[in-house]
Amino acid sequence: MKRRRFCETLAGTGLLMGTGAAGRLARAWDFQDTANLSHVEARFYKKHPDREIECLLCPRLCRLGDKERGYCGVRQNDGGTYYTLVYGKACSANVDPIEKKPFFHFLPATDAFSIASAGCNVNCKFCQNWQISQVRPEQVPHFDLPPAEVAAAAERYKCRSIAYTYTEPTVFFEYMYDSAVMARRKGLRNCVVTAGHIQPEPLQQLLQVVDAVKIDLKAFRQDFYKDYVRGELQPVLDSIRAVSRTKVWLEIVYLVIPTLNDGGPDIRIMCRWLAREVGPEIPLHFSRFQPMYLIKNLPPTPISTLEALRDIALEEGLKYVYIGNVPGHSGESTYCPGCRNKVVERFGMQVTALSLKKGACPACGRAIPGIWA
């Protein structure tokens, strides 16, 4: 899609609304010509003899022969050179409240220009956006949105930040990185919503150009990662630790799936680990599961389960523990750990009252960690 068409799309078809995933699966006549995919050399790979390459972007370390694609489906070996097929190829672009990501301690009550390309380097059986994350780029409608236009669109829609989200931004690393650089030149912030399944070197480079990272910690057990995520737990823990060692803001989301990852003892161990390795002030969100994708046989998470896990986290000393996907629940709001004053009130994805003063509780003056402005 050319630039003019893109603008028409933004204006005319509601592309900038909605969740970004629903209904986006390509119908037969929507198939994208593979010639319309990008052919930009990927970063983070190693060449081997006989036109083989080894991808160094994520812990899978895919070793691929000529013409093969990685697990993510969006990076391809072509003649011994590795290419990203999704550079500047957005399959979703929306203006979202930052609370939707969710970030609760990062520019509250602002909008984030949110983009994604197709693809993902894990395969969660409970994926909420599988129609765009678990497909190849030619299987889903996409449009040209180069990095400079990402930043320009964010400005145009008065967004304070750009969010790399919906699918797994790691797989469109080059697009994300260059967009982030462009955004910073315009004074915009960058935030990443990721599973944290990335190698240390690309993560370190990314952390130079972004301001906030939300990591989905999907369980605290390797067998869950193996069976339900098709990934590894340890690299995610390494990523959490690495982000926490920088000035980049970090929040953790834990999607609670009934019977699969809702065990209190595991949650307690996880919270102790977070408190020890990251610190007790890291925001932790327990989100409610809805049946989706390959797990449709389980019910939505009981609210009582979310509340019980939140209590465990608070018992273990975490200061900012939230309940997500339960609009109107008191656990959506931020409370001062010192005096229990409600400093940010939320309803769903909206901030309904924000009483922080220069990042501190107006009642007792205690600093609330975050990037507030």
Partner 1 sequence: MYLDIRMSASRVVVIKGRRVFLPSGELDPSAVAGMVALGFRRLTGSEEARDGVAGLFSRDDRVAIKINTIGGREISTRPELSLALAEAFLQGGLQGKNIVIWDRTNRELREAGYRLSDSPSVPRVLATDTSGAGYETEIFSHRNIGSLFSTIQTRFATASVSLAILKDHGLAGVTAGMKNYFGAIHNPNKYHDSRCDPFVAELFESGPVKDKHKLSLLDALVVQYHRGPSFHAQWAERSGRLIFSFDPVAADVVGWRLIEDLRAEKGLPSLLEEGREPGYLKTAEKLGLGRAGWDSIEVIRDEV
Binding site for partner 1 (CB under 8 A): 25-29, 31, 33-35, 50-52, 63-73, 123, 125, 130, 134-136, 138-139, 230, 293-294
| Residue among 113 and 130 whose Cβ is closer to partner 1 | 130
Minimum distance between the CB of residue 46 and partner 1, rounded to whole angstroms?
15
Minimum distance between the CB of residue 132 and partner 1, rounded to whole angstroms?
12
Distances, alpha carbon 1 to alpha carbons 29, 69, 92, 146, in Å: 15, 24, 13, 12
| Residue among 224 and 293 whose Cβ is closer to partner 1 | 293
Of how many residues is the chain composed? 373
Helix (H, G, I), strand (E, B) or coil at 233: helix
Quote the CA–CA distance of 259 and 297 in Å, as a whole number.
Answer: 11
Minimum distance between the CB of residue 8 and partner 1, rounded to whole angstroms?
23
| Residue among 51 and 184 whose Cβ is closer to partner 1 | 51
Minimum distance between the CB of residue 68 and partner 1, rounded to whole angstroms?
7
| Residue among 73 and 235 whose Cβ is closer to partner 1 | 73
Strand 161-164 and strand 92-97: pairing? unpaired
Sequence-distant (≥ 6) Cβ neighbours of residue 169 within 8 angstroms: 116, 176, 192, 193, 194
Strand 111-116 and strand 161-164: pairing? parallel
Minimum distance between the CB of residue 231 and partner 1, rounded to whole angstroms?
10
Amino acid at 25: L
Residue 169: is the preceding peptide bond cis (ω within 30°)?
A: no
| Residue among 1 and 349 whose Cβ is closer to partner 1 | 1
Q: In 6-88, at which residue ranges do the beta strands (DSSP E only) sit?
A: 40-41, 45-48, 52-55, 63-64, 75-78, 81-84
Where do runs of H (alpha helix) occur along 188-340? Answer: 200-207, 222-224, 233-244, 264-277, 303-315
Where do runs of H (alpha helix) occur along the chain? Answer: 3-12, 130-133, 147-156, 173-185, 200-207, 222-224, 233-244, 264-277, 303-315
Amino acid at 347: F
